[in-house]
Structure 1
């Protein structure tokens, strides 16, 4: 009979069939997929995160000029902050200007408020400006 394997099994049930492979994939990842299906706030993919992190591999040649491991580590922290700002729709310049002015007076126990997500909720509407920006606004 055409369309059937010689062993008597239907070809659509063979392990090499794309549908069979897809069903096996879903079965192996059932718990993870349930999180996605049961929580509408979970993104379908992580493409937005991968795009945000693209700057890191693109900057690898520039990292050669960090002069030390400590410099490279600090650059990584800065890039992570900038990527997080982009993910939350925050102007990274405004964020850095505000946080660098605020950090000396801010209580250490509340340092989490200075992370980009929390900063947006607490300080974005009334962020501190640099003297350069203040002078430009008056001109």
Structure 2
């Protein structure tokens, strides 16, 4: 059974690679194009996977790793398939998982911060740097911009435009 599951997932990732190369129809966004492609190609594979899981679930030995995997997949089905409804959503959360790993490492370091405020400051910097990476913003360029602009603002000024996800807009203006 694990080999069959791997084949389903290989097919889904193959569709995902193809979806990224599809050209949108006139008036269609790239996200709409990917959603359409997923609806056409991924949904039938997911339906077959679900049917297969429903079929093998009663036959899998209780208290086994395979049983845990099948049960988890079936219990999380709506969440696992949600990406087919939105072309801007990734098929998996690998990118997020990689970024969270940095926080897990940082959390151990924060234990040795001299003060609670120091640990909070470290967490904020980690968060801002990861936000830069997620937005495709070069962290040093953003930091230079934010630290140049911030002292020119009053204490009660709105600084939302200085956040990393607004940086490209700020530099284009």
1:40 corresponding residue in structure 2:
87
Quick check: 1:76 aligned with 2:123? yes
Instruction: Quote the residue 1:105 is aligned against.
Output: 152
SS of residue in 2 equivalent to 1:80:
helix
Match of 2:114 among 67, 74, 78: 67
Shift of 1:45: 1.4
What's the offset of the Cα at 1:82? 0.6
CA RMSD between the two structures: 3.1
| Alignment check: 8 A CA contact 2:146 2:162 kept | yes
The unaligned stretches of length 5 or more in structure 2 are: 1-54
Say whether 1:14 aligns with 2:84. no
Cα distance change, pair 120–106 in 1 and its aligned pair in 2 (3 A):
farther
- State whether residues 53 and 83 of structure 1, in contact with CA within 8 Å, keep that contact through their aligned partners in structure 2: no
Structure index of larger Rg: 1
1:86 matched to 2:133? The reply is: yes
- Correspondence for 1:134: none
TM-score by length of 2: 0.53
Would the aligned equivalents of 1:52 and 1:86 in 2 still touch at CA under 8 Å?
A: no
